[in-house]
Amino acid sequence: MKASKILITIISIFILSNVLYATLQSTSISTNGKCFTPSGDLKVLFIAVRFGENVDTTIKIDPSLWDAYKSYPENIYGNKIFYSDYNMFNLSVDSARDINNISQWYYVMSDGNFRLIVDTISVIIDTMPPTEIVINSNVFGNSTHQIYNKIVFDTLANWHADPKHPFDWGNYDNRCYPNYVQDCSNNDYNFPIDSIIDYVVVCYRWSPITGNPPTAVADVSNWSDITSNYKVQTNCGFTQFRGDRSIFGLFIHEVSHTLYGCPHYACANDVVGNYFYGQVGGWGAVKLSEVSQGNTPFMTANAWERWFLGWIEMK
């Protein structure tokens, strides 16, 4: 009789533990992040896309931003906008390198808890650039970024499949996908890597001939066929159409959309309710793209955002 009671107790504890674990797994927590957990170490893939020298020289972009004869935007060189190695966080702050450095920005905002580095790769695609930017979310494959990103990812898929080429998608799958329900800052046996590329940015050396089309979209689209082993998930990255725009504020702006659904409002915005709207002159991660326009003097996340992402505690 006692043995049966003990057995029932053990089974009950086992069931309760699994229910509790499942409940915890299904509980959305903002500090886990949507596309990645904003703590620990994250390596981002930045793809700089050009259309070939004959075309690039016809695209009018200030050479101080991105020269037609160079593989990358100007501030990519010398780690001026990103760190390329985790050891760089141990260096003394250098004003020439770090004043507008995205890796340093996340490191400081997170109180040293989040280290983001970037691998850059240059891709030349053999196609004409778009004449306009079309974003049609209702029909997959019709949007400009979907059409062109597919060409880019197909190119990288061929590189990955070539044993003689150094490119390997596996270098950019070091975490699991959190979707708010799990902490993926450090992978262990509970949360192994999942074949989803952690975060990828596709940046085109393009500018419009006329008009003022969108600069970027917080989306790279779902591509499950980049290889048989890896896939790109739509919100695990963003697409920058215009190479005639600064990367610093725009990068943090678009990441904020994909990381916790931040809309185009400062202050606490409407992530968890329609409160504290501040459209112009406020400050926050999503407003950093307006620094160069003179709409805000602040180059910082606000306190609510830092708390919401688990970077600071309320006191």
Q: Residues in the chain with pLDDT < 50?
A: 5-25, 268, 294-297
Q: Which of 267, 247, 266 is nearest to 255 (CA)?
A: 247
**Residue 18 confidence (pLDDT):** 42
Q: Which of 32, 237, 256 is nearest to 118 (CA)?
A: 237
pLDDT tens track for 187-238: 665 566 789 999 999 999 999 888 888 899 999 988 776 777 899 999 999 9
Q: Which of 279, 280, 283 is nearest to 304 (CA)?
A: 283
Query: Could you tell me where the DSSP H helices lie in the chain?
Result: 2-26, 53-56, 63-66, 95-98, 102-109, 144-161, 247-260, 303-308
pTM, entire model: 0.85
**Residue 305 confidence (pLDDT):** 87
**Residue 294 confidence (pLDDT):** 46
Query: Could you tell me where the DSSP H helices lie in 131-261?
Result: 144-161, 247-260
**Residue 242 confidence (pLDDT):** 92
Q: Which of 288, 312, 285, 290 is nearest to 301 (CA)?
A: 285
CA geometry: angle 259, 263, 269, nearest 5 deg: 105
**Residue 189 confidence (pLDDT):** 53
